[in-house]
Structure 1
Amino acid sequence: MKNKLNIVFLGTPDFAIPTLKSLLNFGHNVVGVITQPEKPAGRAKIITPSPVKKFALEKHLSILEPHNLKKDEEAFENFKHLNPDLCVVAAYGKIIPSRYLDVPKYGFLNVHPSLLPKYRGPSPIQTAILTGNPKTGVSIMLIDEQVDHGPVLAQRTYNIKPTAYYSETEKDLSDLGAELLIETLPKYISGDMRPQEQDHNQATFTKMFTREDGKINWDCSAEKIYNQIRALNSEPGTWALLAYSVEAVSTTKAERPSGFVGQDKIINIKKAELRDGKLQIQIIQMEGKKEMSFEEFLRGRRNFDISQLK
């Protein structure tokens, strides 16, 4: 692009940073950043800026943190004063009102971590892992008034590693999305790349996962539980109820081990492996305690039969 465009970037979590960083590294004129407001974080509920805000502050970028895009008139006026030619979105986390969409000449481009129309919505990466899908990808799309509904400019496929957890997969897809956006931008602006409508009949949708979604059902197969742990271990967390004895953890069908049933305490399952079709719990965390290996956890409990857990 011969003439630099004024670009406003919208993003909030770590996933968004590679895209913003790439825009800056390739010399694009980022005139402002919109991110979600600071929120309480951690056990101490300390008010914490979003990862994107921290990065934007380091780069001395103009930052807007509207609480409500639809109702905040001052935020909308500030947005218009940035005079954007194009907006780039990566995991901003809120629906963008139509009046914003009408401002930039080239619209809003979104970096979405799935092969649209599959996995629209807030949790495409987690859902792909949870369902055992071996492939996903990234899409560069134009935002319209519906969620992940707009036409697609470019896509790239990604093979999900069978042992990869959400954090690793998210990092790979965030880098891939940033790379694809940089490749796509000049072709889109020059008119050499035309957006293609999605096949809306093929659309599938994801949801926000809750704490209850992380509760392990030991009647499920070992593979299904393993995928659940890989997808949800960091957020909202995978967990079970702890009683006083264990019968078995390593089973092809993850039969309900008595050590994970009862009303005593919650045990968070942080990491596991699937070996020869059997689930091997590796890292756990009791409520309010530090992470520890599952073997270490068992050593301090004489009523547990360690030999049945290896």
Structure 2
Amino acid sequence: MKLIFMGTPDFAVPSLEALVDAGHEIAAVYTQPPRPAGRGRQVRRSPVHDAALARGFEIRTPSRLRRETAEHEAFAALGADAAIVAAYGLILPPAMLDAPRLGCLNVHASLLPRWRGASPIQSALLANDARTGVSIMQMEEGLDTGPVLAEAAVDIAPDETASTLHDRLALLGASLLVETLERPLTPTPQPENGVTYAERLTRESGRIDWTRPADEIDRQIRGLTPWPGAFTTLDGETLKIGAALPAETTVGVPGEIVDDRLTVRCGVGALRLTRLQRPGRTMMEAEAFLRGQSLPAGTRLGD
């Protein structure tokens, strides 16, 4: 097929590469424009931008689409059979949704209708879902409301993080996408029951409330790794928590370190912190962290 590809982050790159390897023609690649990122705020291209450059594709980086009539016309003029959308980051207006012969297909990282929206991978972990997956969806104007063309499920491991689940689903989505395009498209409307929405994450989503149960905080740490990252405070300084293990204790109050192994009392139960990061430093194992920072029993974390 002649396809337009629209994506921005790492999640979308395997889908683009799988389409090329399967022999599809990529008429153009749409991605978010380069933006400042990182500590130095240097302007960086998106992962999809870099992948498209390496393949020599035409790259388009509009910053908005809703009322840009010229963009709509240029998109339609490509004469694509379909547009493939994977975590693109901009809402497509009706003029673009209807332009390709077969419409626009979305690679979405959940089993729709569960976790429509911006953060399906993290939401599945935060909610303690036993499984999740990938859906290939026919796009329409509503937020992830279109009929599903195909889906594939995976079990969520007990120690799963958003990072490991992201990588698994990115590869699963790529293979499912290619399989879907090899057969006639048969859309199935999403059921009305079971609809949930994944909220857009902010930095504050990662702030740990130590009065919550340990298992909830553990899911927060795993579900928000690597971004936005779970964090607490120590003497007013931000302290990122990269990993923790369940622990037991009968002493202390929520947020208090109760031993020399960084065991922190929670509202119910406790967690032993195993990876931490101070501002301006790299994430490190607890043993290495303690060589440069003393956190004795009785230290209080949090506000």
State the TM-score, normalizing by the size of structure 2. 0.87
Match of 1:72 in 2: 68
Structure 1, 171-180 or 284-293: larger mean CA deviation = 284-293
Out of 24, 29, 32, the position equivalent to 1:28 is: 24
Deviation per CA, 1:152-205: give whole Å up to 9, x if none.
Answer: 1111111111112111100100111111111111213xxxx4211111342110
Out of 213, 220, 228, the position equivalent to 2:212 is: 220
Q: How many residues align?
A: 278
Alignment of 1:122-133 (within 5 A): 122-133=118-129
Deviation per CA, 1:208-235: give whole Å up to 9, x if none.
Answer: 1111111111111221111100111321
How many Å apart are 1:303 and its aligned residue? 6.3
User: 2 CA distance for matches of 1:70 and 1:107?
Assistant: 17
- Aligned-residue Cα RMSD (Å) equals 1.7
Match of 2:33 in 1: 37
8 Å Cα contact 2:66-2:91 kept in structure 1 = no
How many Å apart are 1:278 and its aligned residue? 4.9
How many Å apart are 1:121 and its aligned residue? 0.2
State the TM-score, normalizing by the size of structure 1. 0.85
8 Å Cα contact 2:162-2:223 kept in structure 1 = yes
Match of 1:200 in 2: 192
User: 2 CA distance for matches of 1:210 and 1:126?
Assistant: 12
Distance 1:186 1:302, change over 3 A: closer
Structure 1, 274-283 or 170-179: larger mean CA deviation = 274-283
User: 1 CA distance for matches of 2:126 and 2:294?
Assistant: 35
Does the residue aligned with 1:57 lie in a helix, a strand or coil?
helix
Structure 1, 207-216 or 52-61: larger mean CA deviation = 207-216
8 Å Cα contact 1:33-1:62 kept in structure 2 = yes
Structure 1, 66-75 or 50-59: larger mean CA deviation = 66-75
Task: Structure 1: give runs of 5+ residues left out of the alignment.
Answer: 244-263
8 Å Cα contact 2:163-2:225 kept in structure 1 = no
Out of 228, 233, 240, the position equivalent to 1:268 is: 240
Task: Structure 2: give runs of 5+ residues left out of the alignment.
Answer: 249-268, 299-303
User: 2 CA distance for matches of 1:272 and 1:303?
Assistant: 16
How many Å apart are 1:305 and its aligned residue? 3.8
Out of 79, 85, 88, the position equivalent to 2:81 is: 85
Match of 1:231 in 2: 223
User: 1 CA distance for matches of 2:295 and 2:187?
Assistant: 63
User: 2 CA distance for matches of 1:302 and 1:275?
Assistant: 20
